[in-house]
A = this chain, B = another copy of it.
Amino acid sequence: MQKIAIIGLGLLGSSLGLALKDKNVLRLGWARRKETRDEALKRGVVDECPEDINDVISRADISILCLPIPHIIEFGEKYASSFRKGSVVTDIGSVKSAITAPLEKALSPHGVSFIGSHPMAGTEKSGIEAAFAELYNGASVFITKTEKSDPAALEKVREFWKSLNMRIVEIGTAEHDDLVAHTSHLQHVAALAITEAVLDCDPETLKLRYAGCAGGFKDTSRITSSSPQMWREIIEHNQPAVLESVKEFEKRWLNIIKIIENKDYDALYKEFAKGKKMRDTWVKFRGF
Contacts and interface: CB of A to CB of B under 8 A. Distances in A.
B263 A211 contact: no
Contact of A228 (B186, B276, B286): B276
A241 to B, nearest CB: 11
A249 B197 contact: yes
A189 B122 contact: no
Nearest to A118: B212
Nearest to A218: B288
Contacts of A279: 195, 199, 221, 224-225
Interface stretch (A4-12, A37-45, A156-164, A252-260): A252-260
A174 interface: no
Contacts of A165: none
Interface residues of A, number: 90
Contacts of A53: none
- Per CB-CB distance, the 3 closest pairs between chain A and chain B, nearest first, are A228-B272, A183-B212, A120-B214
Number of identical protomers: 2
B253 A193 contact: yes
Given A192-B256, A252-B193, A184 B261 contact: no
Interface in A196-229: 196-200, 208-229
Given A220-B219, A228-B273, A212 B184 contact: yes
Q: Which of A142, A213, A229 has the most CB of B within 10 A?
A: A213
A282 interface: yes
Interface stretch (A54-62, A74-82, A232-240): A232-240
A36 interface: no
Contact of A209 (B179, B215, B283): B179
A190 interface: yes
Nearest to A272: B228
B216 A188 contact: yes
